[in-house]
């Protein structure tokens, strides 16, 4: 299951088209046909991959829009000193993002890094990630049980929910870049498309954080005004040596929870009377489908390369890494992203098991009836 074991299992003959560098990041879905008949890739996945750079990092009166006087900077001011983006590979750029502590600067550098890689056709390269991402002095990181209730947070409900979402999005930037950097030594096995997808995810998350930060500022608050938990990064650390576990734990569990929670959060914000924030949250939830779909795609790919059944491997990994699946589930969004229901829904699994057992019974009955009819015709007296 570990990457070293994965590398040992792969021979040159298994390094097929999807393992080689793909400038256009086009990936066939045929490789899933033998892995699972239940996998249905998100219909928008290739369109998302082929989309141009998204510069709409401002939330305008009618939704996302690019900032005024849009340009493509090659450096960004950090404090009083400009820092040129000197790294010459995607992995080095990602390590730089991970080492940036200021949240807004991290968000901006993340976008510049992804833009530079795409526009300059840089290689994936190899880099060493920091032990943990750089973080600002605030928010104070506490255990989930120590997070204050909305009435004790000092923030109104809409700002409280938006602050929690901003924290998730900031962590998501680091989670995506850590995946790029940490597994960069295995580019020959995983293929450039793997790193292209997760760098793209990081760029999306940086834009989401920018929207959340802007809206918090409009409400008179800022990221860091209340404590936050470090649960998301702890889940990431669990899977630091196992690419299959990273895919299972982060996109297929953590990001999928965003699909579940998004609609409920939108309704709460509408009930609170904050339609502008609800629109931001709804847009973010819609865009998270792509991130889960990316996780599903690459999880199937890795399982196929290892000769493992995706469903049982997913469940085994969650058990091994002590990761809990929690409902209620947004079935429609999860279906759209391509997560088979029997991976996470026990009722679906039980129903499937019953159906499979019934099918076996029916087949046996049909066989018995066929044999009896054949025996009957053989034993029937002539004339």
171 plus 311 within the same structural domain: yes
Q: Using one digit for the tens of pLDDT, what is the confidence trace for 243-255?
A: 999 999 999 999 9
pLDDT for the residue 87: 79
pLDDT at 261 over 80: yes
295 plus 372 within the same structural domain: no
Query: What mean pLDDT comes out for the span 313-323?
Result: 95
Which secondary-structure segment (H or E) carries 339?
A: none
Q: Using one digit for the tens of pLDDT, what is the confidence trace for 139-194?
A: 999 988 899 999 999 999 999 999 999 999 999 999 999 999 999 999 999 999 99
pLDDT at 9 over 70: no
Q: Among 78-92, 126-140, 220-234, 291-305, which stretch is predicted with the lowest mean pLDDT?
A: 78-92
The number of folded domains in the chain is 2
Q: Is 361 helix (H, G, I), strand (E, B) or coil?
A: helix
Q: Is 89 helix (H, G, I), strand (E, B) or coil?
A: coil
The tokens of 75 are what? 């450096």
365 plus 230 within the same structural domain: no
Nearest to 242 by CA among 190, 173, 312, 168: 190
DSSP letters, 37-64, are: TT----TTHHHHHHPPP----EEETTEE
258 plus 134 within the same structural domain: yes
Per DSSP, 382 falls in state P
Domain boundaries, position 46: 3-344
114 plus 62 within the same structural domain: yes
DSSP letters, 104-173, are: HHHHHHHHHHHHHHHHHT------PPPSS----S-SPEE-GGGSPPGGGSSS-HHHHHHHHHHHHHHHHH
Letter string b/e over residues 197-207, b meaning 16 or more CB atoms within 10 A of that residue's CB: bbbbbbbbbbb
305 plus 157 within the same structural domain: yes
Q: Using one digit for the tens of pLDDT, what is the confidence trace for 53-102?
A: 999 999 999 999 999 875 445 555 444 334 454 678 999 999 999 999 99
User: What is the rounded distance in angstroms from the CA atom of residue 96 to the CA atom of residue 331?
Assistant: 37
359 plus 338 within the same structural domain: no
10: confidence class by pLDDT, cuts 50, 70, 90: very low
β-strand partners of 141: 228
330 plus 362 within the same structural domain: no
Nearest to 248 by CA among 267, 262, 235, 234: 235
pLDDT for the residue 80: 37
User: What is the rounded distance in angstroms from the CA atom of residue 351 to the CA atom of residue 353?
Assistant: 5
376: confidence class by pLDDT, cuts 50, 70, 90: low
346: confidence class by pLDDT, cuts 50, 70, 90: confident
Nearest to 158 by CA among 316, 272, 325, 245: 272
Question: In this structure, what is the dihedral angle of CA atoms 135, 139, 142, 146, given to the nearest 10 degrees?
Answer: -170
16: confidence class by pLDDT, cuts 50, 70, 90: very low
Cα distances from 377 to residues 364, 365, 381, 383, in angstroms, run 20, 18, 9, 12
For helices 90-98 and 157-182, give the axis angle rounded to 10 degrees: 140
278 plus 350 within the same structural domain: no
Percent of the chain, pLDDT > 70?
A: 76
Q: Mark residue 121 as left, alpha or beta (left: phi above 0; alpha: psi -120 to 50; beta: remaining).
A: left
230: confidence class by pLDDT, cuts 50, 70, 90: confident
374 plus 290 within the same structural domain: no
Nearest to 340 by CA among 46, 42, 49: 42
Question: In this structure, what is the dihedral angle of CA atoms 232, 235, 241, 243, given to the nearest 10 degrees?
Answer: -80
| Sign of torsion over alpha carbons 216, 217, 222, 225 | negative
pTM of the model: 0.82
313 plus 255 within the same structural domain: yes
Q: What is the mean pLDDT of the chain?
A: 83
Pick the more confident residue, 344 or 76: 344
Whether the Cβ atoms of residue 130 and residue 192 lie closer than 8 Å to each other = no
pLDDT at 366 over 60: no
pLDDT for the residue 34: 38
232 plus 352 within the same structural domain: no
User: What is the rounded distance in angstroms from the CA atom of residue 289 to the CA atom of residue 279?
Assistant: 16
């Amino acid at each position: 299951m570990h990457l070293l074991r994965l590398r040992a299992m792969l021979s040159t003959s298994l390094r097929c088209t999807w393992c080689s560098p793909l400038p256009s990041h086009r990936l066939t879905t045929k490789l899933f046909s033998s892995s699972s008949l239940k996998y249905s890739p998100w219909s928008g996945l290739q369109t998302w991959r082929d989309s141009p750079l998204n510069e709409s990092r401002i939330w305008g009166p009618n939704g996302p829009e690019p900032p005024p006087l849009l340009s493509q900077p090659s450096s960004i001011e950090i404090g009083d000193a400009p820092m040129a983006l000197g790294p010459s590979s995607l992995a080095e750029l990602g390590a730089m993002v991970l080492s940036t502590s200021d949240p807004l600067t991290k968000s901006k550098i993340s976008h510049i890094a992804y833009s530079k890689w795409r526009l300059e056709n840089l290689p994936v390269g190899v880099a060493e990630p920091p032990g943990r991402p750089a973080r600002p002095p605030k928010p104070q990181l506490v255990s989930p049980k120590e997070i204050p209730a909305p009435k004790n947070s000092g923030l109104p409900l809409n700002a409280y929910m938006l602050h929690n979402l901003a924290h998730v999005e900031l962590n998501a930037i680091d989670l995506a870049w850590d995946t790029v950097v940490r597994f960069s030594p295995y580019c020959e096995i995983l293929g450039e498309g793997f790193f292209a997808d997760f760098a793209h995810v990081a760029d999306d998350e940086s834009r989401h954080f920018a929207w959340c930060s802007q809206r918090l500022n409009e409400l008179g608050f800022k990221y860091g005004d209340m404590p936050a938990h470090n649960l998301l990064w702890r889940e990431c650390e669990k899977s630091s040596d196992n690419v299959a576990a990273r895919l299972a734990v982060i996109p297929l569990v953590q990001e999928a929870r965003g699909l579940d929670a998004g609609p409920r959060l939108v309704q709460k914000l509408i009930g609170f009377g904050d339609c502008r924030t609800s629109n931001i949250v709804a847009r973010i939830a819609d865009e998270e489908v792509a991130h889960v779909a990316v996780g599903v795609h690459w999880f199937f790919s890795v399982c196929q390369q290892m000769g493992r059944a995706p469903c049982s491997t997913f469940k085994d990994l969650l058990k091994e890494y002590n990761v809990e699946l929690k409902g209620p589930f947004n079935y429609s969004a999860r279906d759209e992203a391509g997560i088979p229901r029997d991976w996470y829904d026990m009722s679906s699994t039980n129903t499937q098991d019953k159906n499979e057992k019934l099918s076996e019974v029916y087949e046996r009955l049909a066989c018995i009836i066929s044999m009896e009819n054949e025996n009957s015709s053989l034993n029937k007296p002539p004339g």
